[in-house]
Structure 1
Amino acid sequence: MSKTVMLYTKETCPLCDEAYSILEDLQTEVDFTIESVDIYQNDALLEKFMVMIPVVEVDGEIVDYGRISRKNIRKRLL
C-alpha cells in the first residue's frame, strides 16, 4: 500500500520548492503520494509550523523540516 507524504509549505518559499523536488525524485524509488498543504490556509497549521517550513510528515510523524534531507526522507519511507 502506498504511503502519503504530507508537505507543509507556503507560497514563494524556495526551500519548499526544493523539498517538493526531493520528494518527486524519491517517487522514482519508493511508491508514495505527495500531499502539499499551504499553512496559510489553516490557522492551526500556521501557528504550529510558522518558522519550520517546509515540513515533511510521514504517517503522522514529522520526519524533517527546514532544509530537507533526501537521505532522512528516503530512510523513513523504506
Structure 2
Amino acid sequence: MMKVIYYTKDNCSLCDDAKALLLMLQHDYPFELEERDIYTKDEWLEEYQLLIPYVQINQTTLNCEELNIGSLEKALKDNIHN
C-alpha cells in the first residue's frame, strides 16, 4: 500500500485543510497516512517549519505553496504503483 507522510503542527488551519483533502482523496486512492508533528523532532522542525503543511509521497513532495486538490491527486496517481 502507498504511504503518505504528512508534516503538520497543532493550531494550523492550512494543515487542517490539507488533512481534510488527504482524507477525502483516501477514498479514491487507498494509502496509509503517517502524520508527523514537526514539534516532536528537532530535525523536522528545522526542515519543515516554513513549509507545512508538507506532504511526501515516495519521491514526490508538496509544500504549503504547492498543496491543493489538483496537485495532491496528481501526486497520488503518479505514485499509486510505486
The answer to whether TM tops 0.5 is: yes
> For this pair of structures, how many residues does the alignment match?
76
Cα RMSD for the two superposed structures: 1.1
Q: Which runs of 5+ in 2 are unaligned?
A: 78-82
- The correspondence of residues 2-41 of structure 1 with structure 2, limited to 5 A, is 2-41=1-40
Structure 1 SS opposite 2:70: helix
Q: Which runs of 5+ in 1 are unaligned?
A: none
The aligned amino acid for 1:55 is: Y
Equivalent-residue separation in structure 2 for 1:34 and 1:60 (angstroms):
15
Structure 2 SS opposite 1:37: strand
- Matched with 1:66 is 64
Equivalent-residue separation in structure 2 for 1:69 and 1:28 (angstroms):
17
Instruction: Name the stretch that deviates more: 33-42 or 65-74.
Output: 65-74
Q: What is the TM-score when the length of structure 1 is the normalising length?
A: 0.90
Q: What is the TM-score when the length of structure 2 is the normalising length?
A: 0.86
Deviations 1:35-55 (A, max 9, x none): 100000000010001111110
Equivalent pairs: percent with the same residue?
Answer: 33
Runs of 4+ in 1 over 4 A off after TM superposition: none
